[in-house]
Structure 1
Amino acid sequence: MTRRAGQVLLALAVVVGALAGRAPAGGGAATGRAGPDPVDTGRPGAGRSIPYELYTHCGIDEARVGPTYFEAEVPLSDGSGNPPEGWGNPVQRGTMTLTSETEALFTDDAGHEVRFRARPGADAPERVCA
């Protein structure tokens, strides 16, 4: 195999690996609302950050990291079921950091910060975005 072919195969493996950890579009598994699942199924250890697309379409109140559902300590919306002004819609790209087994922190380059707490025993979203 040529070096170029090896590089192409490696790039494809990385893309396929990244996509394999996501639910099909419209699955809403990250927040339980209609929309993409922005979560890599590999859960980071405490203190480790991962790139994360926070689903914001109906406001910001829930996130999923690996198998764990988290709820926002302070839910955010514009009062009409949309993300607050200055947030992306339907997602906001940033970083999710597990600060402990039960707490997570979302941050982004725009300066947004949302703290989440795990919902023990949850195996589904709390609500589905209409």
Structure 2
Amino acid sequence: MLDLPSYHLDQLMWSAGWVERDECDWRPELEAIVRSPRWVIDGNDASTMELRLARADQVVFLEFSAARCLWRVMRRIWSARGTTRPDMAPDCPERFDAGFLWYVATWHNRPRKRIERALAGHEDKVLYIRSPREPERWLASLSPR
């Protein structure tokens, strides 16, 4: 809708077969993306948040309950099992992963706190989305550049 190039951190951070890449290998790619004039980046990696925040006009923080997130992850696992999502690195098929489910279930405890610390000082850029209908309303309120 906004005609912005979009990037997914999962595509940078993972390689085929769910092998996590070393940050020193993918961070230069992210730095090049962030230096470009226009972009949307999907992902919540706290270690690169400051890099992205320095150039971001807006941060969209999806603030859904753990129960809703777990339900959506389970639905995604079931409906896309064995296939690789377009926002994922190649050859990383959807699968059941207890560790990832635990991460989602406990996200509000530790990972969220790291993200909130990283966002400190950038509150004026943060838009909190708290319901599934809010993104549609927000996008409808925007006009393409």
Q: With structure 2 as the length reference, what TM-score do the two structures score? A: 0.26
**Quick one: higher RCO (CA 8 Å, sep 6+), 1 or 2?**
2
Where is the helix percentage greater, Structure 1 or Structure 2? 2
Where is the strand percentage greater, Structure 1 or Structure 2? 1
